[in-house]
Structure 1
Amino acid sequence: MRRLALLLLCLAALPARAAVFDEFQVFDGRITEPRGFDLNFHLNFGRKGIHEPGEGAPRNGALFTAEIGYVTAPWHEVALYLPVAKEFSGDVFGGGFKLRNSFVVPGAGDRPLALGFDVELRNQSYRFTSADWGVTLRPIIDLRRGPWQLILNPGVEFPLGREGPIFAPAVRGVLQVSERAWLGLEHYMDFERIDRPAKPAGQAHQLFVTTDYKISERFALQFGLGHGLTHASDRWLGKVILSVDF
């Protein structure tokens, strides 16, 4: 019993981790016209080879997420995420919800610099995260010059009721290669707790090669292939995002 109690105490002291299945998405500082809806369908799959501390299950499977967004003002957009996961073992389970509020500097569509700030509230089960509730604060720095674009999202996650916060930044570089097509590199990082960062081998680093194609004024597609750069990262994974503007 003493050993069991000690084990439970150690597990309770573990820092809250990011979601077992989560989105790979970098946010820019530009939004569409007010009173406009957009609908995005995300599909992430693969993610083989990693085990979460205390979770006990490999991160193998697929995640489908419906994202419903609405632009309320030239400086604000709200989006609701509804994820559903399916493990390769056949188990299917819901992932709660995420509610994201994006605040941007209005009129940045043609400027070389766009700035914004995301506030994201999530409620997800233990199958996704070790803390049921959490808040992410995500600054947005969006630089454009000619066909090039660089986006920085130095996000900080606050798992409510658990130890934290966690520093999980992301960066995206994009080159426009034609009127409708873009090639990009995305790097997602997880340094764990800000006050107790993980050693380099324990950090998660996912690198994606992406291609974006604008099918029409209303439809766009993004494809991405990712690979983990450290032992704590997922090995191979892919993503597809279909965007629809109304």
Structure 2
Amino acid sequence: MDDWFETGFYIFNSIGNDGRTAYVGSHIRPRVTAPVEWHWPVGVSLSTEFGFQKLAFDANTCSLEIRPIVDKTWNKVYLALNPTVEKSFAGPDANTGFIFSPNIKGSYNLSKVVAIGLEYYGSTGPFFHYYPYQQQEHQLFAATDLDLDPNWECNVGIGYGFTSVTDKLIVKLILGRRF
């Protein structure tokens, strides 16, 4: 079963101006993947993420994300496209409908352990009623993936937001453990 299904659990934290950490929220993410035995030309999976975040960090405190993932590896190059949709259940966007949030990742393996790349994260507004550009979110991250052990996942990056509603500077760290 573990080659086509996985579940992730996220705990989000923030580091404030005083250097202290603060709990932001938690999400659970089940994901199903087309088995390798199907021999599809690209990887295909579907991830759903449901979670809560504190009002101090997001006005929409309860949300669902549906993330189709299409990816492909060519030698040392990896490319992934995620035409994600999001829905808020509590907060100002609860009656908005599904928000289109495209994500793209490209990386290059420098070695068996280190890959560097770019990651784009966007949020353009409700389907067919997209927000004007300055009200959309567009971020670009320079990121590094470390493959130190088959049971661990590590992704670190620094991102910049291009519109007035996007966080201007974000440092991210994703540390995962496979069980």
TM-score by length of 1: 0.63
Change (3 A) 1:228 1:160: same
1:132 equivalent in alignment to 2:61: yes
Equivalent residue number for residue 17 of structure 1: none
Give aligned-pair identity as a percent: 26
Question: CA 1:132–1:87 in structure 2 vs 1: closer, same or farther (change >3 Å)?
Answer: same
Of residues 95, 114, 131, the one that matches 1:163 is 95
Return the letter of the residue paired with 2:149.
S
The answer to whether the Cα contact below 8 Å between 1:112 and 1:145 also exists between their aligned partners in 2 is: no
Give me the whole-angstrom Cα distance separating, in 2, the residues matched to 1:242 and 1:125.
Answer: 21
Partner of 1:77 in structure 2? 6
What is the aligned partner in structure 1 of residue 160 from structure 2?
Answer: 227
Which amino acid in the other structure matches residue 136 of structure 2?
Q
Q: Give the equivalent residue in structure 2 for 1:205.
A: 138
Instruction: Provide the aligned length of Structure 1 versus Structure 2.
Output: 175
> Is the deviation greater in 121-130 or in 141-150?
121-130
Residue 34 of structure 2 aligns to which amino acid in structure 1? V
Alpha-carbon deviation of 1:90? 6.4
Segment drifting more, 170-179 vs 125-134: 125-134
Q: Does 2:112 align with 1:196?
A: no
Q: What's the offset of the Cα at 1:99?
A: 1.2
The one-letter amino acid paired with 1:241 is: I
**Structure 1 residue 178, shift from structure 2 partner:** 1.8
Judging changes above 3 Å, is the alpha-carbon distance between structure 1 residues 233 and 133 closer, same or farther for their aligned structure 2 residues?
Answer: closer
Q: Which runs of 5+ in 1 are unaligned?
A: 1-33, 35-72
Question: How big is the alpha-carbon RMSD for the aligned residues of Structure 1 and Structure 2?
Answer: 2.5
- Deviates most, 88-97 or 176-185: 88-97
Gaps of 5+ in 2: none
Bigger drift between 228-237 and 152-161 goes to 228-237
Do structure 1's residue 216 and structure 2's residue 149 form an aligned pair?
Answer: yes
CA deviation vs aligned residue, 1:198-227 (integer Å, no higher than 9, x gap):
111221111011122222344453321211
Determine the structure 2 residue equivalent to 1:241.
Answer: 174
Q: 1:147 aligns with which of 53, 60, 76?
A: 76
The one-character-per-residue Cα deviations of 1:121-170 (angstroms, maximum 9, x if unpaired) are 11223123223322111111011222111101111111125122211111
TM-score by length of 2: 0.83
Look up the match of 1:119. 48
SS of 1:128's equivalent in the other structure is: coil
**Cα distance, 1:96 vs structure 2:** 3.4
Higher relative contact order (CA 8 A, sep 6+): 1
Whichever residue aligns with residue 29 of structure 2, its letter is: R
- Over 3 Å counting, the alpha-carbon distance change for 1:224 and 1:112 in structure 2 is farther
